[in-house]
């Protein structure tokens, strides 16, 4: 084994991530090579140094108490394995109710949920019941900016227009005047309100919308390269870099969507990911054949249409 190869693999070797044959070669090389042994010792010394890192963090009983208070209300009683007793059941029917900690906790959480819900609804613009047409913007008119926008700009307005807000859903079956944008509304999901920070949900939606818009642009750009170019090879350096950035974003947003239970968004991002991976892995100078394969698959799966309809 050469010194360069050995030094490239030393960190993985220390981490125990090299395959057996590589590990054997490195071990053999280290016996004979002073320079690599010195590098190995430096890396080991660093590991030892990091092992001494003490954050001086304490797990206080208060932490568990706080978690218990929040989870107690949600925990279901453990199912008893004892036999069913009609006598005990009858006694239970007439027994006085016991208001234990769990019940108090549940009431506290319920009360907090109602207060948060009321406060939240009061901060929202007036919305009509589901299915009812709220706003019909004639072509060219500017819709009122959402409340979280402090500095409206044309670019942002466009992004927001495409954004599937949890409170305003776009109706596809407009049936109204041509070009008019119809918006219907639905009530915010109370579980969403409890589960995560409202502001964060807005940020997440905005991030996802921007991300999807950029992914659409990328796929269109790949398509246009293919159509316009007559050369055998095409330079896709820019598209690759963009795809790599979008891929990282996509993974984060997909996981966020999964965590917050937004499964349609998660599925859409999941469908998009293979395209981003393929584009990111293209050679800088790629052939039209490779681009055509990606385009064909994009057409077959209708990914651009799916992104558009988001």
- The residues of the shown chain that bind another protein, judged by CB under 8 A, are 11-12, 15, 17, 41-42, 45-47, 49-57, 59-60, 63-64, 66-68, 70-72, 74-79, 195-197, 199-200, 203, 248, 251-252, 254-256, 259, 277
- Whose Cβ is closer to another protein: residue 79's or residue 227's? 79
- Whose Cβ is closer to another protein: residue 137's or residue 245's? 245
- Whose Cβ is closer to another protein: residue 157's or residue 202's? 202
- Whose Cβ is closer to another protein: residue 55's or residue 172's? 55
Beta strands in 65-176 (DSSP E): 135-137, 168-170
How many other C-beta atoms are found inside a 10 Å radius of the C-beta of residue 262? 22
CA dist., res. 221 & res. 243, Å (int): 11
- Whose Cβ is closer to another protein: residue 198's or residue 288's? 198
Q: How far is the CB of 265 from another protein (least distance, A)?
A: 15
Residue 267 burial (10 A CB sphere; 0-12, 13-18, 19+): middle
Q: How far is the CB of 90 from another protein (least distance, A)?
A: 26
- Whose Cβ is closer to another protein: residue 27's or residue 68's? 68
Q: Report which of 216, 139, 150, 242 is spatially closest to residue 182, judged by C-alpha positions.
A: 139
Whether 260 contacts 195, CB under 8 Å: yes
Q: How far is the CB of 110 from another protein (least distance, A)?
A: 16
Whether 286 contacts 234, CB under 8 Å: yes
Whether 136 contacts 177, CB under 8 Å: yes
- Whose Cβ is closer to another protein: residue 248's or residue 284's? 248
Q: How far is the CB of 275 from another protein (least distance, A)?
A: 15
Q: How far is the CB of 259 from another protein (least distance, A)?
A: 5
Q: How far is the CB of 236 from another protein (least distance, A)?
A: 19
Tokens 């996981």, residue located = 255
82: three-class secondary structure by DSSP: coil
Tokens of 224: 């246009």
CA dist., res. 17 & res. 23, Å (int): 9
Q: How far is the CB of 286 from another protein (least distance, A)?
A: 19
Q: Report which of 272, 274, 287 is spatially closest to residue 225, judged by C-alpha positions.
A: 287
CA dist., res. 288 & res. 229, Å (int): 8
Whether 156 contacts 229, CB under 8 Å: no
């Amino acid at each position: 084994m050469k010194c360069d190869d050995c030094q490239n693999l030393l960190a993985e070797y220390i981490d125990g991530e090299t395959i057996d044959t590589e590990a054997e070669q490195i071990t053999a090389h280290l016996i004979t090579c002073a320079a690599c042994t010195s590098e190995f010792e430096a890396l080991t010394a660093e590991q030892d140094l990091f092992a001494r890192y003490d954050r001086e963090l304490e797990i206080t009983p208060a932490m568990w108490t706080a978690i218990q208070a929040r989870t107690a209300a949600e925990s279901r009683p453990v199912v008893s394995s004892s036999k069913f007793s009609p006598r005990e059941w009858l006694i239970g029917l007439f027994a006085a109710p016991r208001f234990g900690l769990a019940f108090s906790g549940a009431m506290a959480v319920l009360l907090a949920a109602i207060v948060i819900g009321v406060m939240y609804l009061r901060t929202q613009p007036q919305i009509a019941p589901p299915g009812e047409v709220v706003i019909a913007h004639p072509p060219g008119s500017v819709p009122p900016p959402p409340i979280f926008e402090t500095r409206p700009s044309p670019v942002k307005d466009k992004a927001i227009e495409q954004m599937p807000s949890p409170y305003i859903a776009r109706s596809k079956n407009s049936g109204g005047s041509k070009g008019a944008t119809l918006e219907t509304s639905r009530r915010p999901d109370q579980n969403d309100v409890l589960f995560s920070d409202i502001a964060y949900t807005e940020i997440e939606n905005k991030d996802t919308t921007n991300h999807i818009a950029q992914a659409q642009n990328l796929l269109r750009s790949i398509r246009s390269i293919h159509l316009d170019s007559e050369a055998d090879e095409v330079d896709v350096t820019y598209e690759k870099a963009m795809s790599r950035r979008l891929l990282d974003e996509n993974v984060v947003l997909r996981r966020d969507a999964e965590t917050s239970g937004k499964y349609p968004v998660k599925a859409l991002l999941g469908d998009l990911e293979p395209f981003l991976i393929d584009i990111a892995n293209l050679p800088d100078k790629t052939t039209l054949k490779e681009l055509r394969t990606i385009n064909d698959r994009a057409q077959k799966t209708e990914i651009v249409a799916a992104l558009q309809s988001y």
